[in-house]
Amino acid sequence: MLLEIKNLHARIDGNEILKGIDLQVNAGEVHAIMGPNGSGKSTLASVLAGREEYEVTQGEIWYNGKNLLELSPEDRAREGLFLAFQYPIEIPGVSNTNLLKTAVNEIRKYRGEEELDAMEFLELLKEKSKLVELDHKFLSRSVNEGFSGGEKKRNEIFQMAVLNPKLAILDETDSGLDIDALRIVANGVNKLRSKDNAIIVVTHYQRLLNYIVPDFVHVLYNGRIVKSGGKELALELEEKGYDWIKNDKSEVTV
Amino acid sequence: MSTTETQKIEELANKEYKYGFVTEVEEDRLPKGLNEEIIRQISAKKEEPEWMTEWRLKAFRHWLTMEEPKWPNVKYPPIDYQDISYYSAPKKKPKYNSLDEVDPAIRETYNKLGIPLEEQMMLAGVAVDAVFDSVSVATTFKDKLKELGIIFCSMSEAIKEHPDLVKKYLGSVVPYTDNFFATLNSAVFSDGSFVYVPKGVRCPMELSTYFRINASETGQFERTLIIADEGSYVSYLEGCTAPMRDENQLHAAVVELVALDNATIKYSTVQNWYPGDKEGKGGIYNFVTKRGACRGVNSKISWTQVETGSAITWKYPSCILQGDNSIGEFYSVAVTNNYQQADTGTKMIHIGKNTKSTIVSKGISAGRSNNSYRGLVKITKKAENARNFSQCDSLLIGDKCGAHTFPYLEINNSTAQVEHEATTSKIGEDQIFYLNQRGISTEDAVNLIVNGYVKEVLAELPMEFAVEAQKLLSISLEGSVG
C-alpha cells in the first residue's frame, strides 16, 4: 500500500479540523476527495505535505513503508510526495528553471543518484513543458510571479511532471481555471498516471472529474470521510448537492 | 511565521565567523594615543618627505576642531581615540624579491584565507598587492604592468617614487577637511594602494588588494588613490576578511578615484570584516569614505559592493559627475545579521551636462540587525539633462530585524529626470514551505531566494569575485560552510 491514513485527527490554532480520517491508497489509483467548503479537504492536503501550523493530535500516516509524520516536509518531497498548491506561491528573483534544477538534484542526491548535468536537465524540462503546453518563456520567469491564476496551476502540474512523484496531491487545482485551461491541466495529469503512482484529487466541484476520472470518490464532511464510492458518487453529489450529504449525515447522527 | 520555522531560519542565520584566527607575527607598533609627535613618528617610520608630514599635521590640527558625526542610524559606545595604537607593522621590514622571502606565518594566513598568491598569479591573472596590517608585504605582476606604464604599488611607495602624482591628486576628491573619519585618516593613514593608469591604456587584468586587520586594538587607516588618465580603463577589486576579536577595531579608510576624459574606473568590494559575535560583542567599526570624481567628459565610475561584515558599517561610495556626459553607478548588497548595524548608500552629485547615474541597492536584514540605506541624488543648477534611476530594495529574514530607507533628492535644474523605486519584502514561511515541498531544505531555500534577490548586483562583479561573494552571502546567512 502506498498510503495508509488511520484515525487521523489534526488541529490548527486549537480548532480540531480533522476528526478521524481513514484512507487507503494503492499505487495506480486515483482518489478524489470532495466536500463542501470548510470540511477539511485542504487541511488534509497540508497535513500530508507537512505544514507545521497543523498539529496532528491522534492517528498515523504510513507512506511507502515509512511513518510520514516523522519526516520533514523536504524529505517527504524527496520520498516522492508532491503537493500541487491551491494557491501557488510567488518567489521573486528565482526562476522556474532554477527552482526545478535545485529540486531535481536535491531529490536525486537524497536517492543516491547522480545529479543531472545542464544538458540532460534542459532536455527534461523541454519534454515535460509540452505535457501542459507551457510556453518556453515561463521557464526563465520568476516562480509564479505575475502569472495568471491559470498559468500558476499549469506551472504546478509542470513541476509535478518534472519531479515525477509517487504520490501527487492536487489541492483544488481546478479552482480559477477556465474550461480550456482545465482541459490542458487534466490532460497533463492523465499523461502522468501510471501503475506505479497514485493521485489524490481534492476538489469542490465534479467538473474536474469529467477529465481526470477517479477510481474512488470520498466525501469529506466536518472532518470525517462520510461516504466513499466509485466515480458515479461524484455525479450523484453534483446532482443532489452537498446538502444531501449534510442532511443524510444529520439523519444518521440524530 | 510559525515559531519553529523562525527558529530554523534564525539558526541558519547564526553561524560562526569562519575566518576567526590570529597570526603570530612580531610587530613593530607605536604606543597608544594620538598627538603631533605620534604623527611625526608615523611619518618618520614610513620615511616620508616633509610635505607629507606637513599634510598629515594639517589634517590632525583640523581634526581636533571636529566632532564625530551623530546622524547615522547606528549606535555604539564612545570611542576613546587616545586608547588606540595608530601604527603597527611586521618587524624587520624586508624587501622581498620573491614570495619565498615572505614571512611563512603571513603566507600561512593567506593560505587559510584561500588566497594562494602563486596560484592567483598563475591562474587568475590577478595582480595582488597584499596589505598585511599596515605594510605591503607582497606585490606581484609589477613587471607586466610596468611595460604598460601602469603604476600599481603601495601608497608609501607612491609617496616616495611618484610624489608629483600623489601631491596632485591626494585629497583632491576627499579633502583632508572632509569629515571626521576622513580627516583622522588623512592624519594617520598607514598604507593602501596607489594606481595610475596612463593615457589610452586599458589595464589587462583586475587589480586586487586583500586587506586584513591582524594586530589587536590597532586601527586600520587605509588610503587608496586610483587615477585613470584620459581614455584609460581599470577594474579594481578590494576584498577582505579579518580574524575573530573581542575588542572593537576601528577601521576608517579613504578611497579616492579620479577619472579623466573618456576614462572608466570599476571598483568592486567584497567586505567581510569580523561582525562581532552572536551577542553583538566585538566586531569591526567600518567608517569609510569612498568617493570618485568623474572629472573628464564621458568618464565613468562604477562602484559595486557586497557588504557582509563589520559590527557597524558607515559607508557611502559616491560619484561627483563633473565632466559632461559622465556616468556614475552604484550597485550594492548589504547584509546584516545578529546585532550588526549598517548605514550605507551613495551620493550622486550631478554637475556636468547630460550626466547619468544609476543606483541599485539591495539590503538584507536578519537576526536583530539594522540595515539603513541612505542616498543623495543632487542635481546642480548647471547640470542640464541629468538623469538618475534609483532602486532600493530591502529583504527581511525573521521579524526582529529592521530595514530603513533614507533617500534624499536635491534638484536644482528643471530638465532633470529622476526616478526612485523602493520595495520591502520578507522571506515568508509560505515561500520556504513551498520550496521545502519541492524537496529543497530550508537552508537551500533561503540561499535560493537571497541569490535571486541579489543577482542584479552580483552580475556587476567580475566572475571570480561573484562566486566568492555568493559564497560569502551563504556563509553570512546560512549554516553550510564552503
User: For B53-65, what is each residue's pLDDT tens digit?
Assistant: 999 999 999 999 9
Subunit contact B437:A93, Cβ cutoff 8 A? no
pTM of the full structure: 0.79
The predicted-structure confidence for A193-209, as pLDDT tens digits, reads as follows 999 999 999 998 888 99
Lowest mean pLDDT among B23-32, B148-157, B290-299: B23-32
Closest-approach residue (CA) in chain B for A98: B448
What sign results for the dihedral spanned by CA atoms A125, A129, A135, A141?
negative
Residue B73: half-sphere exposure toward Cβ, Cα within 13 Å: 16
Number of H helices, E strands in chain A: 10, 12
The C-alpha atoms of residue B405 and residue B424 are separated, in whole angstroms, by 10
Mention every residue, 6+ apart, whose C-beta is less than 8 A from residue B205: B125, B126, B127, B141, B144
Closest-approach residue (CA) in chain A for B6: A52
Nearest Cβ partner of A73 from B431, B436, B455? B436
Q: Which residues of B are less than 8 Å from A53 in CB distance?
A: 2
pLDDT value at residue B247: 55
The C-alpha atoms of residue A103 and residue B97 are separated, in whole angstroms, by 51
Confidence of residue B105 (pLDDT cuts 50, 70, 90): low
* Spatial contact of A57 and A12, defined as CB atoms under 8 Å apart: no
- Asked if the model's pLDDT at residue B359 lies above 80, the reply is yes
Share of chain B above pLDDT 90, in %: 42
CA A164 to chain CA centroid, Å, is 13
The C-alpha atoms of residue B423 and residue A142 are separated, in whole angstroms, by 17
Lowest mean pLDDT among A34-43, A215-224, B399-408: B399-408
The predicted-structure confidence for B175-207, as pLDDT tens digits, reads as follows 999 999 999 999 999 888 899 999 999 998 888
Neighbours of B35 (CB within 10 A): 11
The mean pLDDT value for A168-189 works out to 90
Element (H, E) at A103: helix A96-110
Choose from B72-86, B246-260, B418-432, B456-470 the range with maximum mean pLDDT.
Answer: B418-432
The predicted-structure confidence for B293-305, as pLDDT tens digits, reads as follows 999 999 999 999 9
DSSP letters, B5-63, are HHHHHHHHH-PPPTT-------EEEPPB--SHHHHHHHHHHTT--HHHHHHHHHHHHHH
Confidence of residue A76 (pLDDT cuts 50, 70, 90): very high
The C-alpha of B84 sits at a distance from chain A's nearest C-alpha, in angstroms, of 45
pLDDT value at residue A38: 87
The helix/strand/coil state of A60 is strand
* Interface contact A111, partner B, CB < 8 A: no
The C-alpha atoms of residue A240 and residue B176 are separated, in whole angstroms, by 86
Q: Which residues of B are less than 8 Å from A95 in CB distance?
A: 452
Choose from B236-250, B266-280, B446-460 the range with maximum mean pLDDT.
Answer: B446-460
Neighbours of A130 (CB within 10 A): 13
Confidence of residue B92 (pLDDT cuts 50, 70, 90): very low
Nearest Cβ partner of B438 from A50, A53, A163? A163
CA end-to-end span of chain A: 36
pLDDT value at residue B212: 38
Comparing CA positions, the residue from B221, B205, B53 lying closest to residue B131 is B221
pLDDT value at residue B104: 62
* Spatial contact of A132 and A188, defined as CB atoms under 8 Å apart: yes
Comparing CA positions, the residue from B186, B169, B229, B179 lying closest to residue B39 is B186
The mean pLDDT value for B453-477 works out to 79
pLDDT value at residue B22: 55
Locus of grid cell 612580531:
B26
Subunit contact B439:A98, Cβ cutoff 8 A? no
Quote the Cα angle for A74-B475-B4, to 5°.
Answer: 40
Subunit contact A88:B435, Cβ cutoff 8 A? no
pLDDT value at residue B78: 85
Mention every residue, 6+ apart, whose C-beta is less than 8 A from residue B24: B105
Q: Give all strands (DSSP E) within A39-134, no chain letters.
A: 55-63, 66-67, 81-84, 91-95
The predicted-structure confidence for A94-109, as pLDDT tens digits, reads as follows 999 999 999 999 999 9
As given in the structure block, the three cell numbers for residue B346 are 551613495
As given in the structure block, the three cell numbers for residue B84 are 588606540
Confidence of residue B23 (pLDDT cuts 50, 70, 90): low
Neighbours of B173 (CB within 10 A): 23
As a dihedral over the C-alpha atoms of residue A131, residue A136, residue A142, residue A144, rounded to 10 degrees, the angle is -40
Mention every residue, 6+ apart, whose C-beta is less than 8 A from residue B273: B213, B240, B241, B242, B249, B251, B283, B284, B286, B309, B310
Element (H, E) at A24: strand A15-25
Mention every residue, 6+ apart, whose C-beta is less than 8 A from residue B317: B255, B267, B290, B291, B292, B303, B305, B330, B332, B346
* Interface contact A236, partner B, CB < 8 A: no
* Residue from A89, A101, A155, A162 whose CB has the most chain B CBs within 10 Å, to mutate: A89
pLDDT value at residue B121: 37
Q: Which residues of B are less than 8 Å from A94 in CB distance?
A: 448-449, 451-452
pLDDT value at residue B19: 54
Nearest Cβ partner of A52 from B2, B441, B448? B2
What are the beta bridge partners of residue A221?
A224
- Asked if the model's pLDDT at residue A37 lies above 50, the reply is yes
Comparing CA positions, the residue from B191, B63, B182 lying closest to residue B135 is B191
- Asked if the model's pLDDT at residue A179 lies above 50, the reply is yes
* Residue from A46, A71, A102, A163 whose CB has the most chain B CBs within 10 Å, to mutate: A102
Lowest mean pLDDT among A6-20, B84-98, B150-164, B374-388: B84-98
Neighbours of A53 (CB within 10 A): 16
The mean pLDDT value for B422-449 works out to 90
Supply the DSSP symbol for A70.
G
Confidence of residue B20 (pLDDT cuts 50, 70, 90): low
The C-alpha atoms of residue B436 and residue A77 are separated, in whole angstroms, by 7
Confidence of residue B144 (pLDDT cuts 50, 70, 90): confident
What are the beta bridge partners of residue B301?
B265, B328
* Interface contact A198, partner B, CB < 8 A: no
Q: How much is the mean pLDDT over chain B? A: 81
- Asked if the model's pLDDT at residue A163 lies above 90, the reply is yes
The C-alpha atoms of residue A72 and residue A50 are separated, in whole angstroms, by 7
As given in the structure block, the three cell numbers for residue B17 are 565567523
Closest-approach residue (CA) in chain B for A13: B2
Q: Residue B200 — left, alpha, or beta (φ > 0 → left; ψ -120 to 50 → alpha)?
A: left
* Interface contact A51, partner B, CB < 8 A: yes
The mean pLDDT value for A128-153 works out to 88
The C-alpha of A142 sits at a distance from chain B's nearest C-alpha, in angstroms, of 9
The mean pLDDT value for B466-474 works out to 75
Mention every residue, 6+ apart, whose C-beta is less than 8 A from residue A119: none
- Asked if the model's pLDDT at residue B384 lies above 80, the reply is yes
**Pairs across A and B, CB distance < 8 A:** 79
Closest-approach residue (CA) in chain A for B447: A94
